[in-house]
């Protein structure tokens, strides 16, 4: 079998590339359906994604691609409502811009430390930057405990710019101004969500493709980068011109059997996701889209509410729990965390004794968030250049080993397809 573009992975990046290439393509996907992490479960009246996926679309062309191919009444528009559950009270997100909502002593501590913080010309790591930008109290009350739960690592291991534009920076003036009037805007202050879940957007991309060129339940088991030949799990061999990888870069390097030292160095977390469906609405969370939970006494770091996004009644939610990359998440661990999750939800008042868990599922994301480290990133960037010399392109949030949005991934895939289209002319 021959193809111009062999695409590994039918997630949002692989499907986008195939949508914009003008050349022949073959997508190889190990799962039994497309979507990668952007899948949806619909069961017993509940709509759950594999984790919270919300579309913010700053690019009109991509926005139109979806909206023109979906019924208008299937799309919901939401102004983001997110809170931090701090010491039993709701605080608006981001924490650093809303310290005036804290109890008096916490507010005084944060404000005092904000004005006595010691900034530097350069910072050594992510944690060092947080202390320099926000002061001791803001960091230790929220930024440090929350992000340690999220990334499941010492924040000193992360690059200063580990979250890029997604981190809500704020200077003293902005924080003070926000105390009187909410002036803090984030990149995702509003979002779209389809009634059928995030997979509805994936379906638009998939429906544009020739289905015979998408091999499901099939994986690449061997690649010869020199002869440009890949062997598939069904025994077939594929000759290609361009190899477009969207599988996680660590798995791709394992497949190739190269750069073992870099592979050991690459760090990430795993996330255990619970999707939970209850028979009644939450007595506490009636409008919130998701909550941030910094407390070390709680096993999860974030919870989200599909019913508030979809404007349905019965509580439908997701839970996210972070783990280090070397921790095995066993069946026993999942059962333990489910029991602990239900206990904590009751303690926080999100559910009560009168509510029954009707249905649930658990999902393990590995990797979930890559740990951005300056030195490792330099090596990965050099590796990508080496790959490019052999017409190998590794893209997507995990393929490129970066922290970005779904829209970012789509834009990169589209740009690469258009670049290679021009190259072939």
Domain ranges of the chain: 2-36+198-265+372-424, 82-178, 269-365
Please tell me the distance from the alpha carbon of residue 215 to that of residue 238, in angstroms, as a whole number: 12
Facing residues of 79 across strands?
A: 190
Q: Residue 168's pLDDT is what?
A: 82
With left for phi above 0 and alpha for psi between -120 and 50, is residue 9 left, alpha or beta? left
Integer CA distances (angstroms), 394 to 21, 150, 401, in order:
16, 25, 9
Which parts of 40-165 fold into alpha helices (H)?
60-67, 104-115, 126-134, 136-138, 144-151
Domain 82-178 of CATH type 1.10.3110: yes
Residues 6+ apart with CB under 8 A from 323: 152, 269, 270, 271, 272, 329
- According to CATH, the topology of domain 269-365 is Polyamine Oxidase; Chain A, domain 2 (3.90.660)
Report the topology of domain 2-36+198-265+372-424.
FAD/NAD(P)-binding domain (3.50.50)
Q: Which residues of the chain have pLDDT under 50?
A: none
**Chain centre distance of CA 163:** 11
Is residue 252 reached through a cis peptide bond, with omega within 30 degrees of 0 on the bond before it? no
Share of the chain above pLDDT 90, in %: 89
Query: What pLDDT is attached to residue 164?
Result: 80
pLDDT score recorded for residue 301: 98
pLDDT digits (tens, 9 = 90+) for 349-399: 999 999 999 999 999 999 999 999 999 999 999 999 999 999 999 999 999
Compute the C-alpha angle 118/267/370, nearest 5°.
80
The pTM (predicted TM-score) of the whole model is: 0.95
What pLDDT does residue 375 have? 94
Quickly count helices (H) and strands (E) in the chain.
14, 18
* pLDDT of 179: 86
Alpha helices in 271-320 (DSSP H): 306-310
What are the residues facing 41 on neighbouring strands?
Answer: 48
């Amino acid at each position: 079998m021959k193809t111009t573009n062999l695409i590994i992975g039918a997630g949002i990046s692989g499907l986008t590339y195939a949508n914009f290439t003008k050349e022949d393509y073959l997508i190889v996907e190990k799962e039994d359906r497309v979507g990668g992490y952007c899948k949806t479960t619909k069961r017993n009246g509940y709509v759950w994604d594999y984790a919270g996926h919300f579309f913010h679309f700053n690019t009109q062309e991509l926005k139109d691609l979806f909206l023109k191919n979906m019924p208008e009444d299937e799309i919901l528009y939401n102004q983001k409502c997110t809170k931090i559950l701090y010491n039993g009270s709701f605080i608006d997100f981001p924490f650093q811009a809303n310290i005036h909502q804290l109890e008096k002593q916490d507010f005084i501590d944060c404000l005092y430390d904000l004005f006595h913080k010691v900034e530097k010309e350069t910072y050594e790591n992510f944690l060092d930057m947080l202390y320099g930008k926000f002061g001791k109290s803001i960091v230790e009350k929220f930024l440090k405990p929350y992000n340690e739960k999220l990334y499941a690592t010492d924040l000193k291991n992360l690059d200063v710019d580990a979250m890029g534009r997604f981190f809500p920076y704020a200077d003293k003036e902005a924080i003070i101004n926000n105390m009187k009037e909410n002036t803090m805007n984030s990149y995702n202050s509003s979002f779209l969500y389809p009634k059928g879940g995030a997979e509805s957007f994936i379906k638009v991309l998939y429906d544009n493709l020739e289905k015979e060129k998408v091999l499901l339940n099939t994986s690449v088991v061997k690649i010869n980068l020199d002869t440009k030949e890949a062997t598939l799990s069904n025994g077939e061999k594929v000759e290609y011109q361009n190899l477009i990888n969207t599988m996680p870069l660590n798995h791709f390097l394992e497949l190739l059997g190269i750069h073992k030292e870099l592979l050991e160095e690459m760090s990430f977390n795993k996330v255990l996701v619970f999707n939970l469906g209850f028979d009644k609405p939450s007595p506490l969370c009636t409008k919130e889209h998701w909550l941030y939970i910094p407390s070390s006494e709680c096993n999860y770091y974030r919870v989200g509410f599909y019913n508030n996004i979809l404007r349905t009644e019965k509580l439908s939610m997701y839970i996210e729990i972070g783990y280090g990359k070397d921790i095995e998440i066993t069946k026993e661990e999942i059962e333990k965390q489910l029991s602990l999750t239900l206990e904590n939800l009751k303690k926080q008042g999100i559910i009560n004794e009168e509510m029954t868990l009707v249905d649930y599922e658990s999902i393990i994301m590995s990797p979930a968030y890559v740990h951005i480290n300056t030195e490792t990133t330099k090596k990965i960037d050099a590796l990508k250049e080496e790959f490019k010399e052999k017409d190998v392109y590794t893209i997507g949030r995990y393929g490129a080993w970066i922290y970005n949005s779904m829209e970012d991934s789509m834009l990169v895939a589209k740009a690469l397809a258009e670049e290679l289209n021009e190259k072939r002319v």
